[in-house]
Chain A
Amino acid sequence: MSYLEYTVRTTPTGPGKMLHLNWPLVVLLMAVAGVGFLMLYSVAGGSLSPWAEPQMKRFALGFAVMLMVAMVPIWFWRNMSLLAYLISLALLIAVALVGIEGKGAQRWIDIGFMRLQPSELMKITLVMLLAAYYDWLPMSRVSRPAWVALPVAMILFPVALVLRQPDLGTSILLLAAGGVMMFIAGVHWAYFATVIAAVVALVFAVFQSRGTGWQMLENYQYRRIDTFLNPDNDPLGAGYHITQSKIALGSGGWTGRGFMQGTQSRLNFLPEKHTDFIFVTLAEEFGFVGAVSILGLYSLILLFCISTALSNRDRYSSLLTLGVAMTFFLFFSVNMAMVMGLMPVVGVPLPLISYGGSAMLVLMVGFGLVQSAHIHKPR
């Protein structure tokens, strides 16, 4: 589809675009980010530094970026999709070659004013590329093996690079988001059934390979799985985090202990309490009510995304919006499942709340694309 197809006359132009923003979505994003600031303020012991203040600045920057992305017509982004994907792939390769060691994993690349995590960038560009691909691909070919193999390669190549860093969390996210994109685009369900069966077999193989010469995961990854399966085995080592996390979360009760009153998360050895485990602090201080409210905010964001996606007649726009929504969903559901002990600890932040720049910026770009799709809907 070329831009000529759009009824240019009815598509808003200039500052008028602001009026066509998906405002409820904007408000929801700000609300979630606001909760994040509060929590960062709390875990720092009632202080804007060292986390809340930089986070606000990042959100402001992210917000500006979102608006800018939103103002640019969606067809421009569609045309940029392949380029964006190739750039982030190149960065991923670069990080593998020259990346700085950060926390024992090669994930960062220094680009002067900030440290960039190309794997975060990939989360959005992969979705863009897949959306553009299925937008271009005629419906009749979607399920043909060759046309299925191509997007699979597009997904697996960056996943392999990320897995090498090693960053299990991000590779799972990329894999799941990519798979869902293919599913939504209409690839025959039999492919998915096959893959799921294969994954089950693979998981079995992974466990069988442990301790042999062809061991498939790093030792620390096996230990994380062990810890997940039985955290009490190692209450002071790796299991410590998850045990403490559950205690803090559970002790919140119905209404929590009150803002800044969460003794567990503040006093105890909750590592990464400002990043991956921030949900624990929230759940302890605001209880079940607070935790479910956050879940509610997140699901409203999803709802608005899905509804604008389904009402959009442009295929690229719908696919992209659903993809961003899916990525967002994976972020928070994996994070929550992880801190609640439903999943091994894989290192995925709580979107828009956890302290951290790359993830925040990438999500805001994603929502910028969603807004752009919304504004430039064919009417």
Chain B
Amino acid sequence: MRRPGRDTAESQRRITRRGLVIGGLMAGVMGVLALRMRYMQVEQADQFRLLADENRINIQLIPPTRGRLFDRNGAVIAENVPSYRITMTREQAGDVDAVIARLAKLVELDPNELERARRDLRDLRGDTPVTVADRVSWGAISRVAVNAPALPGVMPEVGLSRRYPAKNDYAHVVGYVGTVSDKDIERIDAPEQLLRLPRFQIGKIGLEAKRENELRGSAGTRRVEVNAAGRVMRELDRQEGQPGADMQLTLDNTLQSYTNARLEGESAAAVVIDCDTGDLLACASTPSYDPNLFVRGISVPDYQALLDDPYRPLPNKAVQGIYPPGSTFKMVTALAALEDGQIALDDTVYCPGYMEISGRRFHCWKRGGHGNVDLHRSLRESCDIYYYEMAMRTGIEKISAMAERLGIGVQFDLPMTSVAKGLAPTREWKQTNRGQPWVIGDSVNTAIGQGFVLASPLQLAVMTARIATSRTVTPRLIKSIDGVEQPTGHGDALGLNENLMREVRKAMFAVSNSNRGTAYGSRIIEDAFRMAGKTGTSQVRNITAGERASGVVNNRDLPWNRRDHALFVNFAPFDAPKVAVAVIVEHGGGGSTAAAPIARDITLQALYGQDPPLEAYPAADRARIKALQDKLRRARPKTGPDGKDRA
């Protein structure tokens, strides 16, 4: 025996005592439970019975009207149009097949949709309304309403569905809405009851998704009396919800539509920024797609076609696409070197066409070399050697710091999907991400916008606007929400030496106005609107020594996806910058031939607010431009969204 008997006896007594205490407690709790039952089931029974009968009184959610989207002038970008659908509830229908058969005589039912509806009717809870026909005509709805007694559980419903009247133009910026999926519900911390309404739509991508909370609004409720079959007899009262906020975007519908049309046919992107406010006036990426397809639920072949397109229509290349900026980056290198005092404005560098750096030969795009090059000439003629020299003198850290100051490698807070951060590389970045030390060749490559540096067209446009204004212009997409003006991106002074800035701008002016400039072919001759720009051509492959020996292979001889990207950035008018533009044509070849003409057309369109007069173009180009304008005018919808739909 381990324990003395007294202990056992004492323990037994205590267990008995405490066991009885607990037993008493249990009895007490059960007494409370029984009393509560009595209270609810006997004393309050009548009241609850009444409520139960009143459960014929359904509380229904009223989905809020989604906020609409307008362009800066009030043209409709996204609106809500009435759409009719027919739903069915299994519990109320009873014999589902018989009811569907009767319904099919009245309304044309899509076999695919019916298949899905039958499955849902079988699998979902019996009280869930299932859509059997969507987007039906008003005639069909009235036929169903008239035959209601023969169709238990069948309910005609009117709802609002999202429509994007401009089709392709805003697909990448605004995105689209779609039916709430199980995945969406899982993602949300506390899904509102509203999201569980059948076919309720929320923003899936783009602005629609990013500003979902403001656009959605909040649901109202209404109490309705239903009969035994669940049919609504009358509405007792309703509590209105809060409609979603209407938003006015900074985009200009005319310009956006023109930009899309102008880029069509290329895999390209363009961004137009207002130099004063940072407003995105246009933000286009081509090829585009029709967001209305997604609202309805895109078919598998259609979606597959979008996925398989080598021009990649789905991503928004204007903000998601990051590219080596090529020579458009030279302003950054120049400003970094000048600010750091590594070179004066008039100092020259001799360009023999190549440069030996630690045993490797770096070439200038001009094989014969430029001779003596100063800042002005280096930008105007895009001499590479000058920038190799600047890179070695200045060092990567200062170049990267300047890039970030001008907006490259900076994450802009815009309500679009996957706004890219780009990359202004540093020693530390390469060590962490590549596990290799920075070498001088990396600096040299970065100086001409090749190598690791990456920028989105949006960032290039911001950079150009900042160079044009000497202010930290910041892009903005939403002009006002429910009439409340949002803060602009006017920005404070950059704090760079204005003398140097002026010289860089002058050199950019020469790029497209001096007959030695790389974009002279794409000049504007209207004096009030002359533009300053910079071409860029970024390699997507290495040029081998063999190729160099046999003469660099011409872009046109290469397969499309190995050709160079063509870039152009510019601002105009030169004297008082209003807009900054960045254009990239993926695998377009040279910046001066593929990107600059597009940028000029978009710039003029932005400055005139309509198709520009031919007088703005050099005389030799006018016939060609006229033909292009006519073609684009035909391609754009005549009754654009800013016709009758103006809000």
Contact = CB atoms under 8 A, between A and B. Distances in A.
A1 B15 contact: no
B620 interface: no
Interface string B17-42: 01111110011011011101110111
A186 B29 contact: no
B23 A287 contact: no
Interface string A237-252: 1000000101111111
A268 interface: yes
Contacts of B190: 219-220, 223
A291 B34 CA distance: 8
A31 B2 CA distance: 42
A66 interface: no
A140 B7 contact: yes
5 contacts: A184-B15, A186-B18, A250-B45, A295-B30, A333-B30
Contacts of B38: 288, 292
A121 B507 CA distance: 79
A180 B26 CA distance: 11
B101 interface: no
Nearest to B41: A288
A310 B11 CA distance: 12
A184 B22 contact: yes
B556 interface: no
A138 B7 contact: yes
B37 A291 contact: yes
Residue of B23, B49, B59, B190 with highest tally of chain A CB at under 10 A: B23
Interface stretch (A72-80, A92-100, A196-204, A314-322): A314-322
A299 interface: yes
A185 B29 contact: no
B15 A251 contact: no
Contacts of A292: 34, 37-38
Contacts of B36: 337, 340, 342
Interface string A310-335: 10010100110010001001000100
Residue of B12, B19, B21 with highest tally of chain A CB at under 10 A: B19
Nearest to B8: A315
Closest 4 CB pairs of A and B: A250-B48, A251-B52, A288-B41, A253-B45
A117 interface: no
Interface in A334-351: 336-337, 340, 342
A140 B10 CA distance: 10
Interface string A56-95: 0000000000000000000000000000000000000000
A267 B91 CA distance: 8
Interface in B44-72: 44-45, 47-49, 51-52, 55, 59, 61
Contacts of A250: 40-41, 44-45, 47-49, 51-52
B189 interface: yes
Contacts of B41: 249-250, 252-254, 283, 287-288, 291
A24 interface: no
Nearest to B13: A186
A236 interface: yes
A236 B59 contact: yes
A247 B51 contact: yes
Interface string A153-193: 00000000000000000000000000010011110000000
A252 B47 CA distance: 11
Given A251-B51, A283-B37, A310 B16 contact: yes
A269 interface: yes
A183 B22 contact: yes
Contacts of A130: none
A254 B33 contact: no
A253 B23 CA distance: 29
Given A306-B19, A306-B23, A237 B11 contact: no
B18 A246 contact: no
A139 interface: yes
A219 B59 contact: no
B10 A5 contact: no
Contacts of B51: 247, 250-251
A315 B193 contact: no
A249 B40 CA distance: 7
Contacts of B10: 139
Interface in A257-277: 263-264, 267-269
B1 interface: yes
Given A186-B18, A292-B37, A340-B40, A267 B127 contact: yes
A288 B42 contact: yes
A interface: dominant SS = helix
Contacts of A140: 7
Contacts of B26: 299, 302, 326, 329, 333
A39 interface: no
A162 B40 CA distance: 33
Contacts of A138: 3, 7
Given A180-B22, A287-B41, A291-B37, 19 more contacts: A1-B3, A186-B14, A186-B18, A219-B190, A220-B190, A235-B221, A247-B52, A250-B45, A250-B48, A252-B45, A253-B41, A253-B45, A254-B45, A299-B30, A315-B8, A326-B22, A329-B29, A337-B33, A340-B40
Contacts of A337: 33, 36
Interface in A195-225: 219-220, 223
A353 interface: no
Contacts of B49: 250-251, 253
Interface in B173-228: 189-190, 192-193, 221
Contacts of B14: 139, 186
B55 A313 contact: no
A248 B12 contact: no
A269 to B, nearest CB: 6
Contact of A1 (B2, B16, B30, B221): B2
A336 B18 CA distance: 25
Contacts of A186: 11, 14-15, 18
A318 B19 contact: yes
Nearest to A5: B1
A300 to B, nearest CB: 11
A263 B38 CA distance: 20
A5 B1 CA distance: 8
Contact of B11 (A139, A183, A295): A139
A375 interface: no
Contacts of A315: 8, 11-12, 15
B48 A246 contact: yes
Contacts of A122: none
A309 interface: yes
Contacts of B59: 235-236
B11 to A, nearest CB: 5
A59 B47 CA distance: 38
A287 B34 CA distance: 12
B187 to A, nearest CB: 12
